[in-house]
Structure 1
Amino acid sequence: MQDPVSLFERARAGDRRTLARLITLLEEGGEAAARVGAYLFPYTGQAYVIGITGPPGSGKSTLVNALARAYRERGETVGIVAVDPSSPFTGGALLGDRVRMQDVAGDPGVFIRSMATRGSLGGLARATGEVVRALDAVGFRCILVETVGAGQVEVDIARAADTVVVVQAPGLGDDIQAIKAGILEIADILVVNKADREGAAATVHILRSMLSLGGPALIRHHGQQMVVQGVAPTASGWTPPILQTVATAGKGIPELMEAIEAHRAYLERSGEGESRRRRRMAEELSQRVRERLWADVVRRVGRARLDGLVEQLARREIDPYTAVERLLAELRNG
């Protein structure tokens, strides 16, 4: 492996191929990734991370493209992390970055990285956080993270981004797609994209009803009308604004950028931004401890012993609680 110091310095100097190589090392994981990540860490913490999530077909990629173009017009460097479903054949991202965002793909002030989920749930890939950190360390001050587009399970972005933009669009099917509890509750800003289509006003009305003092909304689900309870404004005092955009034409993008800046100012003014950063670090520490402890269990107990316990569980000869106690006892006595 090349010296991480050399890789980092070349990437920070603008060598995009070296940056891509650095990111690949982080994605592969292992000791090399740990060395690179440890070296990068002191240089991070300067970028502002904007998460873009929402159901498939809502126009997330087009919105990211429009935002990146607008931030570049302001003179800001932009990093884009686009998370895609995995190919069942290669394990790689099904969609390529330059296919998704042609307008900014050739801009030297923009770096785009497509990542495959590779089985990870929550809308992000396992190494998304490390990739974002690498882009931060080499000098990108605005980082846009687009999730895979799987629906209400995409809540990991709330732990990875400073501002979360949830994108909806009219005409995607049941109105209930607009109010999936998990995804609606992580929104800092709500965007109804493709607002030139029929039904945009109705989508805005449903979202506004859901956010208005937790009031009920009349929605349509599988052809039937039903009333669902709304989501109350956040205890922190921020109520997500609802904006309309037509990303293909750039309409509503300035207003969206203003809303992002307003949320950023709110985070700093209220102290919520620092709280989020601390929670993010605590969650990452917890995750890494779990990963290391499990690796230690596998090393000390042995794969054969673990496979044997799994087989006993499958035959219902023991229960999971007993299996854990046996593992812990073997570790204590080992």
Structure 2
Amino acid sequence: MTEGDPDGRGDDAEAADAGSDAAVDPLIADLLDGSHRALARTITKIENRSPGYRRLVSQLHAHTGDADVIGITGSPGAGKSTLVDKLAKAYRDRGLTVGVIAIDPASPFTGGAVLGDRIRMASNVGDMDVFFRSMSARGTLGGLSTATTDAVKALDAFGKDKVIVETVGAGQNEVDIVRTADTVAVLVPPSSGDDVQMLKAGILEIADLFVVNKADLDGADRTVQELREMLQLRDGDIQVGGGHHGFEETTVDVGGGDGDGNPADGDAASDDPAGDDADAVEPWDPPIVETVANRGEGVEDFLDALAAHRSYLVDSGRLEAKARTRYAEEIRTLLREDVRGLLAEEIEARGGLDERVEAVLRRETDPYTVAEEILEPLADCVADRRD
């Protein structure tokens, strides 16, 4: 990889040319053998987009698909980190192995994670069967860095039974988690109702279950009641078929898209492999669980709710539908990243944008014409290959 190839595309293209029968990378072999050091190094390469990282992820893929991926999201101060800590300990008490990815805010100076979550996750220190990793959001509005999905694959291939992804807590933009997790829990702190009202504009639709944390504080009962009322109103306005949010399931189309506000995503969610069998399963109604995370209260109820949703996904066939839609979205994301890279290379090869910007300022051309001129040779090449 050269300095002008920050995502390792050149290196990985060479690896692809070597054929699919290439030997497994020693780092991946060590990871599959249970080396925590190899797991940590793999995730570091993934997060840093180091040379050859795509080859590593490609070799991981065949070993994935067994972990239960749980997303924990909600507003700042809801107690996500404390609850994740208790959740991991409860799973360990049941004999399950756990991987935790905590998405922290990005440092404005280094771009790295602020690491605030480590302070509140101390219950499992020294337990080698709980792997904790902080990752930087790197400015993404959806609350997840683009490396999170690949890091989840590493933990899955390593053999973790449960993979928990805690988002950065950026409010209503916390929607990317639904593209990574099988089950999404939205934490809501007791309040006067303003936080619950904000959910209407953002993350209400992505919740598989709600957790009213800090339930020992004043206002908890009111928050629970408001959530119940909002769920009833929502179910009355939108008829849900076999689920509650539109990422992986079919809903009434109110915007010409796929139900989650992405009209360009096509009809990937409409092809439900569960078929008629899914109709026999009762539609999922998001439960509301009350917890006091710092005292461990309500955690077992939370685990039971997560298990119930997992059973629903399996019994209804939605788990496979989620995976199908998730891979489709992942492919689209990779294509967008690679196309951006190709365009950057083409612009650089044509002397950059400075002269063209100056021409636009002088009204000698316009941005649309400039874009068309840059894209034309790439479009011609694609058309020739298609023919």
So what's the TM-score if we normalise by structure 1? 0.88
Question: Which amino acid in the other structure matches residue 60 of structure 1?
Answer: K
Does the 8 A contact of 1:178 with 1:207 survive in 2?
Answer: no
Paired residue for 1:34, among 54, 61, 71?
Answer: 54
Paired residue for 2:162, among 131, 142, 149?
Answer: 142
Q: Which structure 2 residue ranges, 5 or more long, are not aligned?
A: 1-10, 12-22, 243-282, 382-387
Corresponding position: 1:110 with 2:135: no
The corresponding residue for 1:263 is 309
Paired residue for 1:5, among 25, 31, 55?
Answer: 25
Deviations 1:198-238 (A, max 9, x none): 000111111101001438xxxxxxxxxxxxxx874643221
The corresponding residue for 1:289 is 335
The corresponding residue for 1:305 is 352
Deviations 1:25-64 (A, max 9, x none): 1112154111111111111111010000000000000110
SS at match of 2:25: helix
- Counterparts in 2 of 1:179 and 1:300: CA distance versus 1, 3 Å: closer
Deviations 1:132-163 (A, max 9, x none): 00000111110000000000001000010000
The corresponding residue for 2:241 is 235
SS at match of 2:206: coil
Does the 8 A contact of 1:178 with 1:203 survive in 2?
Answer: no
SS at match of 1:87: coil
Q: CA deviation at 1:90?
A: 2.2
The corresponding residue for 1:80 is 100
SS at match of 1:190: strand
Bigger shift: 15-24 or 201-210? 15-24
Q: CA deviation at 1:251?
A: 1.1
Does the 8 A contact of 1:59 with 1:193 survive in 2?
Answer: yes
Report the Cα distance in structure 2 between the residues aligned to 1:202 and 1:319, rounded to whole angstroms: 56
Matched length: 319
The corresponding residue for 2:374 is 327
Bigger shift: 311-320 or 255-264? 311-320
- Counterparts in 2 of 1:332 and 1:179: CA distance versus 1, 3 Å: closer
- Counterparts in 2 of 1:102 and 1:253: CA distance versus 1, 3 Å: same
Report the Cα distance in structure 1 between the residues aligned to 2:125 and 2:158, rounded to whole angstroms: 18
Deviations 1:262-296 (A, max 9, x none): 11111111111111111100000011112112212
Q: CA deviation at 1:12?
A: 3.3
Question: Which amino acid in the other structure matches residue 275 of structure 1?
Answer: A
The corresponding residue for 2:324 is 278
Bigger shift: 138-147 or 12-21? 12-21
Does the 8 A contact of 2:188 with 2:196 survive in 1?
Answer: no
Corresponding position: 1:159 with 2:205: no
SS at match of 1:260: helix
The corresponding residue for 2:37 is 17
Does the 8 A contact of 1:4 with 1:35 survive in 2?
Answer: no
Q: CA deviation at 1:317?
A: 6.3
* Higher strand fraction (1 or 2): 1
So what's the TM-score if we normalise by structure 2? 0.76
Q: Which structure 1 residue ranges, 5 or more long, are not aligned?
A: 216-229
- Counterparts in 2 of 1:197 and 1:317: CA distance versus 1, 3 Å: farther
The corresponding residue for 2:226 is 206
Question: Which amino acid in the other structure matches residue 299 of structure 1?
Answer: E
- Counterparts in 2 of 1:154 and 1:125: CA distance versus 1, 3 Å: same
Report the Cα distance in structure 2 between the residues aligned to 1:313 and 1:132, rounded to whole angstroms: 44
SS at match of 2:314: helix
Report the Cα distance in structure 1 between the residues aligned to 2:194 and 2:362, rounded to whole angstroms: 42
Does the 8 A contact of 1:312 with 1:318 survive in 2?
Answer: yes
CA RMSD of aligned residues (A): 2.4
The corresponding residue for 1:244 is 290
Bigger shift: 308-317 or 140-149? 308-317
Report the Cα distance in structure 2 between the residues aligned to 1:164 and 1:316, rounded to whole angstroms: 50
Question: Which amino acid in the other structure matches residue 298 of structure 2?
Answer: G
